[in-house]
Amino acid sequence: MIYLKSFRLLSEADEEDFFYSRDPLATANYYNSYYPFGVFRGRGLPVLELADVTVLYGGNGSGKSTVLNVIAEKLGLRRGAEYNRSDYFPEYVRRCRAETAYGRSVPQASRMMTSDDVFNWLLDIRHVNDGIDCRRAELLDEYQAARGRESRRLASLEEYEQWRRENEARRLSRGKYLRDKLMPNVRERSNGESALAFFAEQIREDALYLLDEPENSLSAARQLELKRFLEDSARFFRCQLIISTHSPFLLAMRGARVYDLDAEPPCVRRWSELENVRAYHDFFKETEDEFE
């Protein structure tokens, strides 16, 4: 399903138009960076024609993450983790052009997700579990203290409440007392399992998703699981995906349109033609005797 048909970043002429304008921001001389102006300057990046699955490939500094951040900002997509930007970012985004399907806005559920979102999600789970563990210790102390007290005459509502808790503790076993008053720990997984669980929970049907290097923390086997999940999301659940990645598995997603941002100018290529993928191929070809 296509919600965003194309996206046009600034050409070299567009950037020159900004810097020769009378905009005070363009003439300021006290900034160290004009980011994202200049990232694609002189590289002739074409208009990105987007498919159900579009994959952005390139080395560090090629601009993969920048493209996703600009698209997310232009469309006003939800996102979690902070990202690199400058005072020039809003002006650059304002000058970009997004063409949506049938002129409609993208679905509200659409969002951008990064590896930092996965990491923060994992930290939140650990924080919740730490809180549960602390509360469990407090309840255990309360239970043991209540079991050790004898009944007495009640002189106030406060004493009545204390008496009620003590009686409850006498009536219940320690395990049931804790279970009744405390939620169980959230299940903790390995980083790879957590990443897969995060994407399975956050990616719903009928929406546009921008994924920045989602393969981080995933083994080769887990990357293949993620590949199958994302392919199914696009094929059966009407999701549109724009992904930046180094992973040969995600580059090989069924039906994906792959942009090589390392090329001059950037262009669409088959995944098997990409330099990084060829490096894997050549290595395993040279060492194939080791697998016999």
pLDDT of residue 128: 47
Residues 77 and 112: beta-carbon distance below 8 Å: yes
Buried b (16+ CB within 10 A) or exposed e, 70-86: bbbbbbebebeeebebe
Is pLDDT larger for residue 187 or for residue 60?
60
pLDDT band (50, 70, 90) for residue 52: very high
The separation between the first and the last C-alpha atoms of the chain, rounded to the nearest angstrom, is 43
Domains of the chain, start order:
4-117+191-291 (3.40.50), 120-181 (no CATH)
Residues 224 and 201: beta-carbon distance below 8 Å: no
Which strand (E) or helix (H) includes residue 195?
helix 191-202
Peptide bond into 265 cis (omega under 30): yes
Reference 36, options 79, 82, 96; nearest CA is 96
What is the sign, positive or negative, of the torsion defined by CA atoms of 64, 47, 112, 82?
positive
Of 137-151, 200-214, 241-255, the one with minimum mean pLDDT is 137-151
pLDDT of residue 84: 77
Is the model's pLDDT at 135 over the cut of 60? no
